[in-house]
Amino acid sequence: MALLLAAVLVTAPAHAAPPASLRLDAGVAEPVDGLAAGARAAFDLAAATGDYVRGEIAVTAGRFDLDLVGPGGHHVRRLASDLDAPGGFQFIVAEAPVRLVVTARTGGGGATLSVAAKVAPAAQKAPTAQFVSPAIAALATHVAAGGSTDAFWQERARQGTPLVEPGPPGMAVVTFVARGARRNVRLLGAPSGDHEWMDRLGESDTWFRSFLVPEDTRLSYKLAPDVPDLPGTPREQRMAILATAQADPLNPAPWPTLAPDPFNQESTLELPRAPAQPGLDDRGAPKGTLAEFRLRSARLGNARTITLYTPAGFDPADQRNVLLLVFDARAYLTKVPTPTILDNLIANRRLPPMIAAFISEVDPRTRAHELPGNPAFADFMAEQVLPLVGEKTGTRIPASRTILAGSSFGGLAAATIALRHPDRFGNAIALSGSFWWHPDDAPADAPEHVADLVARSPRKAVRFHLTAGMFEAGHTGTAGILDTSRHLRDVLRAKDYDVSYREYAGGHDYLVWRGALADALLALVPRL
């Protein structure tokens, strides 16, 4: 039976306790045994007016009521009704003295009554804040003593933000700060994997949020001051963050640098031990060429741009040629400068000659329909995109040297399309793949779709490279990208697939993926 905190199912409130009673204090447990049906046991509680009390009545046999009785024996509150299992209770003593009265609903039962905590009014407040950041702790002390935050912000202007301080071995304390907001500040791209509300330091102009992160962390973020609290759906309220989200004004490394304004930029953090990102530096390597083509699909009912990259000195007859097909073309031509990465890695002979086809999305709504497990889109890739690439480049590259790649829904698409057409696509790169996804008609308790598909199907001739960010854990009881990527890796290995896997101290972030794509190619291509 559930514990009831309201006075419901009251059959006979205890208006007066029996003359004999025991004294009960915090940390003491008293047995209640052998009561006949309707008999009561009373316990005078050692508590004063205003005390917070928390305890338990652990029923081992029979059924019991528990009532709180105040001065003069008047009934105050039914704490438990018809309880036949252990149940907790809590209350504030409105007026002392009080008693706890246990009434047996059935004879011969047994229970134990105990008080786990008793907190006086003076102690009923949160403990003094324990700051993770020593710098914020020092500023809090200074502000509490009446000091100004000016020197702190002058130092931040010189050194930049966020603050980075030493943590335990292998870790660092990173503190994001903002100044001057009136109502709130929200942090996009937090190491928690969520959009976090920042805390205000007392009544000062300083907002902050600290995290303990690995020393090889790399991430991008934005600050959103004074996010409006709007009417509407939870999603609409959450999206309001975009109204004010912008680059951190004191961060010295905005990205991209040529964005028109801070609202179109993010701020970056790369700790000293963040892994190298191969191929990003322009070292004068011979540059490949880019050409755009429009491709219409009658089955999908739309058209899109295909951007084709061919490396410098491209030879269609070279048997070493590899074909890379990448989703979300705009992002992988800009935020992840894939042509530059390929130019450099090919020139340095770290990769063989590689053609790349960048598949543009029509719009966000269509992307969310096409990329996750869509057979029609998979067939479009196999039956239209591949022939177009072959026609434009004069090549016939086998499936064993053809790679699908993408991030988020694009990573999910790479895996599901390769599994549907292994005779066309023999390799899949999933960067932070959305392997939490289920079809719309799947039951709520359905297993992870791609992992289940792999487990139930015969092994296909597909190689995999999977990545995930350590900051991509799930929230509120749902599996996140980190957990589902690990699970898919394990299922693939159990089915004897060729799979490589890597985790990064980062989140769902193109700043991470621009290195992860190069790492994936360097891990996968030598196995072709």
In the sheet that holds 218-225, the strands lie side by side as 196-197, 185-188, 218-225, 266-270, 254-255
User: Going by C-beta distance under 8 Å and a sequence separation of 6 or more, which residues neighbour residue 425?
Assistant: 325, 381, 382, 399, 402, 403, 404, 417, 418, 462
Amino acid at 122: A
Closest Cα to residue 419, out of 447, 366, 456, 394?
456
490-511 pLDDT, tens per residue?
A: 999 999 999 999 999 999 999 9
Amino acid at 518: A
CA distance 373 to 257: 35
CA distance 275 to 302: 40
CA distance 197 to 184: 7
Q: According to the model, what pLDDT value does residue 128 have?
A: 54
CA distance 422 to 77: 68
Q: According to the model, what pLDDT value does residue 426 have?
A: 98
Q: Angle at the Cα of 98 (from 94 to 101), degrees rounded to 5? A: 125
Q: According to the model, what pLDDT value does residue 12 have?
A: 39
Which residues sit opposite 296 in a β-bridge? 303
Tally of CB atoms within 10 A around 476:
5
76-94 pLDDT, tens per residue?
A: 899 988 888 888 888 889 8
CA distance 217 to 192: 12
| Alpha-carbon distance values, 240 to 106, 180, 189, 192, 508 (Å) | 57, 19, 16, 20, 20
- Structure token pair of residue 103: 């009434």
Give one word for 340, left, alpha or beta, with left for phi > 0 and alpha for psi -120 to 50: alpha
Q: According to the model, what pLDDT value does residue 177 have?
A: 98
Q: Can you give the pLDDT of all 528 residues of the chain as single tens digits?
A: 333 322 223 333 444 444 456 777 877 788 988 889 999 999 998 889 988 888 899 998 899 999 999 998 899 899 988 888 888 888 889 899 999 999 999 988 899 999 888 888 877 765 555 799 999 999 999 999 999 999 999 999 999 999 999 999 999 999 999 999 999 999 999 999 888 999 999 999 999 999 999 999 999 999 999 998 878 787 777 788 888 999 999 999 999 988 899 999 999 999 999 999 999 987 789 999 999 999 999 999 999 999 999 999 999 999 999 999 999 999 999 999 999 999 999 999 999 999 999 999 999 999 999 999 999 999 999 999 999 999 999 999 999 999 999 999 999 999 999 999 999 999 999 999 999 999 988 887 788 999 999 999 999 999 999 999 999 987 766 789 999 999 999 999 999 999 999 999 999 999 999 999 999 999 999 988
